[in-house]
A and B are shown apart, each in its own frame.
Chain A
Amino acid sequence: MTNPGQAKAQAKAQTKAQQCPQAQAQESAQPRAQMANRRSLTRRIWRLIPPGLRQPLGIVAALIALTWLVICLVGPSIAPYDPLAQDLPRFTPPGSVAWLGTDELGRDLLSRILAGARVTIGLSLLLVCLSMLIGSLLGLLAGFFGRWVGETIMRFTDLVLAFPTVILAMVTAAALGASLFNAVLAALVVSWPPYARVVRSIVMGLRENEFVASGRLLGFSSVRSMRVDILPNTVGPVLVMASLDIGTAALLLSGLSFLGLGAKPPTPEWGSMVSSAVAHFDKWWLGVFPGLAILTVVIAFNFIGDALRDALDPGVEKS
């Protein structure tokens, strides 16, 4: 229990301590010097990061995401085994033979996760980019032109948004036939509307700005006005949204694969790996490791999104 009076007193004491660092330095001169040395290196690295992005959580997340992106590029070549080869004993628990164990066909789980990064993350990125492009374009047109153009686009957007996302994606994927490409298409159908909505509302707000009117008075065409005055001012929020969306996209694609609507069996895709683990519930590693892979990707990109949002906050100077 702390009463407010105490807390205040503590806070005061702390500020006092901060105000007279000399007294502290004298108390513990030696360990301080060592710490300062070590700190200066971290600080130097810290300074390399643009001020707006200096957020510990965001940086950890960025490192995790970066690791995964590197794995996307080099995954198969650093994998200890061929991800499709069925040479190892089946259901080997995690150990020295296979660090993360093997599955029901004797394939190395680690190799499959490393190879699967390319599939899951790569397709998620593709999906997010496509939905961002399509959604932003429609939102831009709807927000800039208003009237019937905007109304038509927004009614269509509402129509898509009215369906539960996962179910609509499932139905679309089922209708298109199970394949990874179709899974991306199906996911695309449900992922663009939020972008259209957000971009439209941003654009409608921006349009009221006096600099947009000034541009028009200076003879900007609609296209130039959109390109110069509107679009650059939507990029920040949309990028934040996109990075928050990468995790969701990975989940959606994995989910479709989990339901058998995405990757076909031998393809090492994380969602389908979790899916096949369901049949062997006692072999915990089969589901846990691909699940962890999905989880770290989702969380990492969410933190990046949050950090980006803070960094792009209008109050922060950047030039």
Chain B
Amino acid sequence: MNARPNPVLAVRDLEVVYPGHPPVRALRGVSFELFAGEVVGLVGESGCGKSTIARVLTGLVAPSGGVAEYLGKPISPLGVGRRPLELTGIQMVFQDPGSSLNPRRRVGAQIQDGLDLAQRRRRGHLTSHGGAVAGSGALPEPGALPEPGAVAGLGGVAGSGAQPTGIAQPDGGPVRLDTPEDWLVRVGLEAGDAKRFPRSFSGGQRQRIATARALAAAPEVLIGDEPISALDASTQARVAYLMSSLAQSQNTALLFISHDLSVVRLIADRLIVMWAGRIVEAGPTESVWSNPGHPYTKSLLAAIPLPDGAGRLPAPAGPTGEFSAPPVFHTS
């Protein structure tokens, strides 16, 4: 490893066994690190343990072996009580747009929950976002934002002036705190939508709202557990772009889980490929994509329809027995 700063998230030899008859070994020794502001794609087939990693990192499941650390401290499982404030820097967007928002509350109030948490984290000096308030004050006026739906425009959000992180507060001026409306605009909806109930939004819009709520909390880490797999193909890339560009604009690391390598490739700096509870390949996206080393990754890449317009699948991969080959780690 080169001279990188300390990771925000570190997982070592993580094992999870779900009790049952027989018990399910969902994770069999998984190790990886996540650094500030980077986008990591976690891919693998259904049942390989991706959600389990997300659940351990958010404390929803207790590991049966190994450690998961956030900012150097072990992540404690969520009990009956309140989640410790130190751990609220890990937020998550879930898979199912149908249940990711409370149907009986206006979306504005739900985004406000994220903002309230950001406020508490700031008071506890738990945001590392340049001391400045993540996503506050320094953002351009809503009207100045590029066309939110457009993918190119979103790239603009990430790259251009919408970086609250490094930008100083307007000198001495009063800090204008974020509002749910600001966030709605940021994720490509309208300020007036704050008063609406989740039911009246489409799946893609709900995932945008869930993203807004999670990022409004100014987390260090955002986990998206297949946040786009319930969406149709044209919406998938947009929501994925949106999540990554907004996360990067406030220096939030994004762990983007998916079983669809073709979308993840578009946003991820690094890829982690899992198979049967293990990491089988990891490395910079381009390197893994163009030069896959592990048989499973090869078969995963081969299963992506060829871009010839016919949706043709390449020849099937070899026997799954090959997949237990040793993992391949690309170095950057």
Q: Which residues 103-131 in B have Cβ within 8 Å of A in the complex?
A: 103-105, 110, 113-114, 117, 120
CB pair A217 B58 closer than 8 Å: yes
Tally of contact residues, A, Cβ under 8 A: 21
CB pair B105 A228 closer than 8 Å: yes
Specify which chain A residues have a CB less than 8 angstroms from the CB of B90 in the assembled complex: 217
Main secondary structure of the interface of B (DSSP, over half): loop
CB pair B114 A233 closer than 8 Å: no
CB pair A232 B105 closer than 8 Å: yes
Bound form: Cα–Cα A276–B222 in Å: 72
Complex interface: stretch among B192-200, B244-252, B263-271: B192-200
B83 within 8 A of A: yes
- Annotate B79-97 by CB proximity to A: 1 below 8 A, 0 otherwise: 0111101001011101110
A221 within 8 A of B: yes
A145 within 8 A of B: yes
B99 within 8 A of A: yes
B191 within 8 A of A: no
- Annotate A127-169 by CB proximity to B: 1 below 8 A, 0 otherwise: 0000000000000000001000000000000000000000000
Q: A213-B94, A214-B92, A317-B199 are in contact. Are A219 and B102 (CB under 8 A)?
A: no
Q: How far is the CB of A41 from chain B (nearest CB, A)?
A: 32
Bound form: Cα–Cα A222–B120 in Å: 18
A218 within 8 A of B: yes
B272 within 8 A of A: no
Bound form: Cα–Cα A221–B199 in Å: 25
Q: A210-B95, A220-B82, A319-B200 are in contact. Are A229 and B114 (CB under 8 A)?
A: no
A209 within 8 A of B: yes
Query: Which residue from A210, A219, A221 sits with its C-beta under 8 Å from B120?
Result: A219
Specify which chain B residues have a CB less than 8 angstroms from the CB of A221 in the assembled complex: 81-82
Output the nearest chain B residue to A319 by Cβ-Cβ distance: B197
Residues of chain B whose beta carbon lies under 8 Å from any beta carbon of chain A = 58, 60, 78, 80-83, 85, 88, 90-92, 94-96, 99-105, 110, 113-114, 117, 120, 196-197, 199-200, 210, 213-214, 217
15 pairs across A/B with beta carbons < 8 Å? A145-B80, A210-B94, A210-B95, A211-B100, A213-B60, A214-B92, A214-B94, A214-B101, A214-B214, A217-B58, A217-B91, A218-B88, A219-B85, A228-B102, A317-B200
